[in-house]
Structure 1
Amino acid sequence: MKKWSIALLALLSVVLVFVITSCVPQHPSLLSVKNIYDAKLKILNSAGPVLLDKVEGTVIYVSGSDAIIHDGQTGIYVYKAGFYSSDVGKKVTLTNVIGTTYRDSVQIDFSKGGYKNFAAETLTVEPTALTIDIANNVSITTRALWDFQYVKVYGILNGGKMTFTYEYDKVNKRKATINVASLSSSLFLPYTYDTEATLTGYLQFSNGAWSLKVLSAEIGDSYPGVGVFVDEVVDGKTFKVGEQTYELIGIDDSVNPSAAKTKLEEFINSQPEGIVQVLVKGEKNGKKYAFLFSKDGKTLYQEQALKDGVVVPNLAEEWEDAAIYELLKNAYKSAYSSKKGVYSTFSGASVITVESSNTYIEGNYAIFSGTVSDVTEDATGNVNINVSNWLKITISAGNFKYLFSSTFEQFKNSLEGKVTNFYGKAKRSEGILEMPLYAEWEMFSFESGSGTQDDPYIITKPEHLISVRALASANKYFRLEADIDLAGVDWTPIGTYSSDLSTSAFVGVFDGNGHKIMNISFNDTTKSNVGLFGYLYNATVTNLIIENANITASSRAGALAGASKLSKIYRVKVVKSSVRVTYSGSGYGGGLIGEAIDGTEIEECAVRNTTVSGVKYAIGGLLGRLKVNSGQPAVVVKNCYVEGGQVSSDYSSTTASAGFICNFSATSAADAVIENNYVVASITNGKAFIAYKETGSTDPVVTSSYYDTQVVGSGVSDSYATGKTTSEMKQQATFSGWDFTNIWTIDEGNDYPRLKWEN
């Protein structure tokens, strides 16, 4: 036989063997790993579960029957392995276990099988120093090393933000910020002020972001002063120690003198052994001017009094010490962000314009709205603002230094000719109103406009959008004329819930005008009614795109709004965002709105590439809950879709989440109109379209609505919408009765239907 024929025969034999073995079902082989880092790399680089021969480590944390084990280099989460709290500190070997990625969390799933054995010896795991900007590093190798890494890091707990700032590059003094959360109910992290702290815990990458789960914390005193016994409280800002008089810097107690005095007395009397701390910053006319703290130095009284609304800010005195201004600014901003105290009084304030100025009752709080004519500065640095020759605003030199980082000329140029709103008390003087300006959030402005339908307030920058809060319930018109980037802004939702929604919710018209609001960030698991808007009532929101919103709250949360009633939402799109609710019950979390009730109409809206998650029930891709009370107008949801993201509940239940609307509550079929909608999103622990009909409710009537059976997940079904394959979902013929002339468009065979207004 010739050599070439022998070679050809050998080649054919190899090909035949390859074909035969390719037809045999292949199973994941048992992978040998050297350490936890290798195990995590294999899991992250695999498209599915990985069978691991042996993983060793020390138990550093136990929750229920789950645990985190660490081998001195890195750690990994172990799910349902039957661990006990007494196992912490023990060395354990896991064999023949399944490694997997649950959502985006790397873990070993012991519920799928495996063995564990505790060793006689122990391994002491020391925490690692955090030496990278973890929040901006999500590579596979980084995750394999740092996810569930046990760390100890020094930095600053950022007051009110639930974040921690640390220096990861000490040579170049570079800093990074990461979200933090306590893992122990007995561990208190003081989020109400900035303080030095050393935190020990583990890092976790979840829902596309890094966080630090704190196991222990060494909290430093933030503002230590001199301990004193107070002998007499004179008024709401003055007290005596022996013959020495102390006056508190930066507050005005004239709003409610008796309440302010009572508050100060209560604060002093509540301190252990009657000792408070004072930090003296100056002495004038026999008085010592000071900050007042709790005995442990961790609670600033001025901040608490502002939050309780018994005082207002006032920094009229000129101080050479720049730290005074910085300290008060932080305290006042904290009070402002909490929506208590000074800010809360906006809600019931009358809006005074030149036409209504003659009706203003002297001594009342009000919002004064008008166009700034001119801004002048006198020789001592005091600033006067003339509003259309009927209102004079004064800012003392000391307050101006505190309020504004800009020069006077910059301030003047930014204000003159602009519609601006001022909040406070004014008095009449020679026919005009005069008012001192105490704090920066007492002034809020827009690019132009008067708030009417024909002349809406124009919004072109974050300060204008923040200003909407002060007029939330005034039934005004607002319009975006530029994209707004809220990166770095401590967002407080516009409008909120109360027993009288007309005075607390957003009541007005907000026209996005085709623009985006980007990077809304809110993270406070004690708060409800959260989103760009907290609560919509008799409101209209149109033509708006919300991009990269990151919302974490207790309940009733959505990228657009926490809740809505009797409101119209038309052509609003949420993209690349995240919404999470943490309430251990019905959290009502939605990609668009947490809870839509009585008379809410939602049309031509979309939620794309967005993660919606929650601890337990009522998690929906579009709405967490749809509810109509007896006798109230129907809720309408038409021509909307959810596509490209994830909807999930941490709770194992087929009714905990849904791709479109999770909870449905209505007593009549006519109470809800749900038609021409679709879902293409991954669902965990829920249903494809509607998950749960609440007790006493009728069955939802869903018309011409669909979901992609190949995307929602294995075993995820639905009895209300119609399941179709991916191929069918990209064919116009599938969507019976839909308007592809005026509302919808489709790239036949290549994409799902899209709303024409998106293009």
Structure 2
Amino acid sequence: MMSRAVRLRRLLTASLTAGMFLFTASAGAAQSGITVTVQDNYQADYGVTIPFTRSPRTTDYTFSLYEGGSAAGTPAVSAKVEMTAAQEDVYLPLAYDITGPQSYTLKIEARPLADRIGTDMAAAREFPFTTKPTCGCAAGTAGAFYRGNGSAADPFYVGSQQQLAHVGAHNGGQFKQARDVDLAGNPWTSLSSDGIVYDGGGHRIKNLKTDGGVGDAGLWVLLSNSTVKNLAIVGGEVRGSIIGGLAGKASSSTVQGCYTDVSMVSNVDNVYGHAISGGLIGASYGTVVEDCYALGKQSVTTAPYANYQGGIIGYTQNDSAISRCYFAGILSAGNARYLGGTLGVQDRRFGFSGDRIGSCYWLVGTAYGIGTYMPPTGALGDPFNSGTQGLGAAQLASASSFSSWNFENVWRMDSGAGRPVLRVFDNPKDS
């Protein structure tokens, strides 16, 4: 006759199907048929969800996760599980590597109920598994995401250069940068994205080096119908015809709470003889930029027919907007023709009703906030200031100089830098 212990072991073996592990952001809604008590106060804001069917002979389990291919040593996380429902999801917090596959072993221990001790015996089984991409990509796909499903509630998490490059493969997705990403030593191929939301989480992208030749370049070559926020780009060099520290071109997008500090060198294109650069965006088509700033130096290789440099944006069209931004870098006067501390050129030829520029500033060194404008007919207009103001170093270091800026929640004055900085970059949380 089969022993009770073996029977409990077989029921335990049948309780979980290999490959059914789900990698999720949280435990989700509370479940009435299960209580999970994580041991040793282990915490993580993401983890593993395990669909589980309990044995009808017990409700008392321990779930433990071990790094590697066996349940050896101390588990990464362990939890007592009391389960009265026939089927439930068991969620275990686990700070696994979000940048690539990682091997674990799940050990489930089943204990007999108090009134069955001596009749049934405890049993345990091990289930090795490897974390898999959560973005629908095949295992082994370069840059695949291992945390998140691309929704607003559970965005794809970006933690490496390969994953940053993989953003371009998921138009329409939402993303959260989990840590600083260093691009040093690897020339960057500019992204093209449509309909995304990218939240930098107060993190930085370091050492961006990209060369579009006589084409466009930036972290993004083109950003369409998208939102980028809470992201910094520091160090490196961007080259191309229409270039920006964040994006060469941006259309119908929003940029919030970002800053750049990169060197930019614009080259003349082969068609129009133009070179355009902007601290954040080279050319903007109906894009909104707010609560941002730019540092760094902008220059041009040769004297073109028209070179436009703007501290924040190089060229605007289709009623773009710039609010509560400042520029404290250098615009090169060598081969440049039209320089603006906030905007290089305002194009008024295509259904223009007025770029919305307000509460913007630049560190004096450039004479005007807007370098020039293109009227519907006629020659380029004179430089002018509208919604933008030049400040000296002492004014830049004083919060009173910045009208309508939120220094309680968004900005703070940095006495060491002598200028405002964004609070979101003070203490970013790594994942």
CA contact (8 A) 1:596 1:623 kept: yes
In the TM superposition, 1:110-189 aligns within 5 A as: none
**Aligned AA (2:153):** D
Q: Give 1:549's aligned residue.
A: 236
**Aligned AA (1:660):** T
Deviation at 1:618, TM superposition (A): 1.0
Deviation at 1:558, TM superposition (A): 0.9
1:486 corresponds to 2:176: no
**CA–CA separation in structure 1 for the residues paired with 2:103 and 2:344:** 51
**CA–CA separation in structure 2 for the residues paired with 1:733 and 1:640:** 15
**Aligned AA (2:344):** C
Match of 1:660 among 338, 342, 345: 342
Deviation at 1:742, TM superposition (A): 4.4
Structure 2 vs 1, CA of residues 726 and 461 (structure 1 numbering), >3 Å: closer, same or farther?
closer
In the TM superposition, 1:305-454 aligns within 5 A as: 413=103, 416-419=130-133, 443-454=142-153
**Aligned AA (1:465):** L
CA contact (8 A) 1:420 1:444 kept: no
- 2:394 is paired with a residue whose SS is helix
Offset from partner CA, 1:36-74 (integer Å, 9 cap, x none): xxxxxxxxxxxxxxxxxxxxxxxxxxxxxxxxxxxxxxx
Offset from partner CA, 1:394-416 (integer Å, 9 cap, x none): xxxxxxxxxxxxxxxx9774992
CA contact (8 A) 1:490 1:521 kept: yes
- The structure with more helix, counted as a fraction of residues: 1
Match of 1:569 among 243, 248, 255: 255
CA contact (8 A) 1:452 1:476 kept: yes
Offset from partner CA, 1:267-289 (integer Å, 9 cap, x none): xxxxxxxxxxxxxxxxxxxxxxx
**CA–CA separation in structure 1 for the residues paired with 2:289 and 2:223:** 12
1:506 corresponds to 2:188: no
CA contact (8 A) 1:571 1:604 kept: yes
Deviation at 1:636, TM superposition (A): 1.4
**Aligned AA (1:692):** T
CA contact (8 A) 2:345 2:370 kept: yes
Q: Give 2:292's aligned residue.
A: 605
Match of 2:371 among 683, 686, 691: 691
Structure 2 vs 1, CA of residues 704 and 743 (structure 1 numbering), >3 Å: closer, same or farther?
farther
Query: Structure 2: which 5+ runs fail to align?
Result: 1-21, 23-47, 51-99, 105-128, 427-431
CA contact (8 A) 1:640 1:677 kept: yes
Q: Give 1:164's aligned residue.
A: none
Match of 1:673 among 356, 362, 368: 356
**CA–CA separation in structure 2 for the residues paired with 1:753 and 1:494:** 29
Match of 1:596 among 257, 261, 284: 284
CA contact (8 A) 2:312 2:343 kept: yes
**CA–CA separation in structure 2 for the residues paired with 1:483 and 1:748:** 24
**CA–CA separation in structure 2 for the residues paired with 1:747 and 1:461:** 30
Q: Give 1:279's aligned residue.
A: none
Match of 1:751 among 415, 418, 425: 418
Deviation at 1:463, TM superposition (A): 1.7
Q: Give 1:580's aligned residue.
A: 265
Deviation at 1:735, TM superposition (A): 3.8
**CA–CA separation in structure 2 for the residues paired with 1:745 and 1:421:** 37
Q: Give 1:247's aligned residue.
A: none
CA contact (8 A) 1:673 1:701 kept: no
**CA–CA separation in structure 1 for the residues paired with 2:386 and 2:407:** 16
Q: TM-score, normalised by structure 1?
A: 0.36
Match of 1:707 among 380, 390, 411: 390
Query: Structure 1: which 5+ runs fail to align?
Result: 1-353, 355-370, 374-409, 425-436, 496-504, 629-633, 709-724
**CA–CA separation in structure 2 for the residues paired with 1:596 and 1:557:** 11
1:525 corresponds to 2:213: yes
Deviation at 1:586, TM superposition (A): 2.2
CA contact (8 A) 1:559 1:591 kept: yes
1:460 corresponds to 2:186: no
Deviation at 1:566, TM superposition (A): 0.9
CA contact (8 A) 2:173 2:195 kept: yes
- 2:314 is paired with a residue whose SS is strand
Q: Give 1:726's aligned residue.
A: 393
Structure 2 vs 1, CA of residues 704 and 736 (structure 1 numbering), >3 Å: closer, same or farther?
farther
Higher RCO (CA < 8 A, seq sep 6+): 2
Q: RMSD of the TM alignment (CA)?
A: 3.4
Offset from partner CA, 1:139-193 (integer Å, 9 cap, x none): xxxxxxxxxxxxxxxxxxxxxxxxxxxxxxxxxxxxxxxxxxxxxxxxxxxxxxx
- 1:463 is paired with a residue whose SS is helix
**Aligned AA (1:457):** F
CA contact (8 A) 2:368 2:385 kept: no
**CA–CA separation in structure 1 for the residues paired with 2:416 and 2:215:** 44
CA contact (8 A) 1:493 1:531 kept: yes
- 2:283 is paired with a residue whose SS is strand
1:626 corresponds to 2:281: no
Deviation at 1:755, TM superposition (A): 4.1
Offset from partner CA, 1:250-309 (integer Å, 9 cap, x none): xxxxxxxxxxxxxxxxxxxxxxxxxxxxxxxxxxxxxxxxxxxxxxxxxxxxxxxxxxxx
1:534 corresponds to 2:221: yes
Deviation at 1:602, TM superposition (A): 0.5
**Aligned AA (1:531):** G
**Aligned AA (2:132):** K
**CA–CA separation in structure 2 for the residues paired with 1:573 and 1:652:** 23
1:638 corresponds to 2:305: no
Deviation at 1:649, TM superposition (A): 4.8
CA contact (8 A) 1:674 1:701 kept: no
Structure 2 vs 1, CA of residues 560 and 739 (structure 1 numbering), >3 Å: closer, same or farther?
same
Deviation at 1:734, TM superposition (A): 3.8
Offset from partner CA, 1:438-465 (integer Å, 9 cap, x none): xx7x544113111111111111111211
**CA–CA separation in structure 2 for the residues paired with 1:507 and 1:550:** 27
Q: Give 2:72's aligned residue.
A: none
**CA–CA separation in structure 2 for the residues paired with 1:756 and 1:491:** 28
**CA–CA separation in structure 1 for the residues paired with 2:168 and 2:194:** 8
- 1:419 is paired with a residue whose SS is coil
CA contact (8 A) 2:368 2:384 kept: no
CA contact (8 A) 1:447 1:460 kept: no
**Aligned AA (1:661):** L
Q: Give 2:174's aligned residue.
A: 477
**Aligned AA (2:258):** V
**CA–CA separation in structure 1 for the residues paired with 2:134 and 2:403:** 51
Deviation at 1:670, TM superposition (A): 4.3
- 1:579 is paired with a residue whose SS is strand
Query: Percent identity at matched positions?
Result: 25
CA contact (8 A) 1:453 1:477 kept: yes
**Aligned AA (2:181):** I
CA contact (8 A) 1:588 1:618 kept: yes
In the TM superposition, 1:80-95 aligns within 5 A as: none
Structure 2 vs 1, CA of residues 744 and 700 (structure 1 numbering), >3 Å: closer, same or farther?
farther
CA contact (8 A) 2:247 2:280 kept: yes
**Aligned AA (1:449):** G
- 2:186 is paired with a residue whose SS is coil
Offset from partner CA, 1:340-395 (integer Å, 9 cap, x none): xxxxxxxxxxxxxx9xxxxxxxxxxxxxxxx9x9xxxxxxxxxxxxxxxxxxxxxx
Structure 2 vs 1, CA of residues 735 and 445 (structure 1 numbering), >3 Å: closer, same or farther?
closer
